Structure 1
Amino acid sequence: MLTLGRCRRRGDGLDHTARTIQPGPDSPDQTPVQSRRSSRERHVSAMAQAKIQAKMNEATISKFSRTMSMADRSGRLLESLDQLEMRVEALREAASAMEQERESILEMLQSLQNSPEMRSISDGEREELNLTAARLLGRTLCVEVSVGTSRSSQQEDALRQATSIIDEIVKKLLEDAGSSRQRLMALHAACVTEAPPVAIDQKFQSLVISCAMEDQKKIKRRLETLLRNILNAENTIKLMDNQKLDQASSSNGSL
């Protein structure tokens, strides 16, 4: 605040009058000290506001970066798990294919040993071929491939019952091959989607449906293998009977 005084002549004496002037904030009449103080206060206030805003921005950026980083890590982990899942499925499919190939090789070797061609060659050649087939059979049996299947208790029970039914029929093959073959065909009809030429075993079909998907495929393959073996055995028996008839006819003709 600035107080100005002046003297004014009144009559014979001097009239001293004082007037007070209130300067504004930007008044040019401020003293240099007051002006510097006001400027410094405004500067300090601006700096404080800037620091507060910077802290707020820093907290926001830090939180945003941390969230994005967690999302990135989660995405990379999920992608890795997806790739591993595909590899696991490929591994199981490859192992299952190897298991089927093993079964196919064993079946072919056994079929070759019992084939009619083996009976139409000399004893020496037959012995040599049988030795080779036995060697290959032994090497194939040394290959062990097993693909486990996750099953519920209901699936375990259904698989056990279905396997038991097939085993009982196999035991009766030598006693009654014709009837056993018809039973196996009815069981196989329960495992296919297309219309079968024979009646379907409804009880067996309900058991197969209750089994795990991989077990359903294995049951179907086993039945197909059994039916092929029976068919090959029947053809071999027929061929042997025909050979005996031919030999008998030749003997009668020579007489």
Structure 2
Amino acid sequence: MEIDHSPPSDIICQSESSANFDDLKDLRSDTSVNSACNSRPQDRNSIAAAVTNRQTDNSKVVDKNFNFNEYEYSLNERFVTVLDQLDARVEKFRKDALNLQEKRDFLYMSIDLIKSNDLMQDLTDSQREDIDCYLQRVNARLSTVELNVRTIRDHSQEVSLNEINTLIDLMITMGDPDLSRQRCQLYLNACCSVDENVYFTDMDADMNECKLNVDVTAGHLDKKFESVLLGCTLDDQKNIKKRLLALMGYLNGLC
């Protein structure tokens, strides 16, 4: 009989849940002393003595003249350290959520590309109806996933982003892959022109991840697109370029 040495699932879940609060472990010690920091001034000597006794080891004794101001400074440092760790975790969480949101947007974009594919016209009416129903089911299922990582924008930046999205949507629905690819190239060139003035530290990494055969510096650029793009936030500019890179990779495969 084989014995399963793995811990019970409830223990694993408990340990994972506990790990979520590891950043707070530095605030668990000296709790009784911390809660008493705001007590009466005459109690401070006894509090200091208690802390001194707790910091005694087998080799030496901490100086009994406990400096309470130093203790308060140390406590403040601990809070700052914990908040620094928490801030880093929040930033990572936000980045992960942005990546998920980007994947969802690419799925929506794929649905739109299938809808506008000219090969749909080669299907019979019944086949096209079946494909449309299938697309609606996929779209409905995708719509159940709600992700909203809010980017702080002023009114003009909101207007610019909406205009950019409209231009890209019109490009997708042109119906001619060659024309769409040419327009996408102009938009990408505009993004690269903006990149010369705004440096994205991880843009090259993003392009390597895409592994697309895309020339983003060829030919002319769309001046209108460039002008509107400059009105977007830096995060939006980066996401717009990544979206266009993915679109260009798809359109290159069609042409």
TM-score by length of 2: 0.49
Relative contact order: is structure 1 or structure 2 higher (C-alpha 8 Å, sep ≥ 6)? Answer: 2
Q: Which has the higher strand share?
A: 1
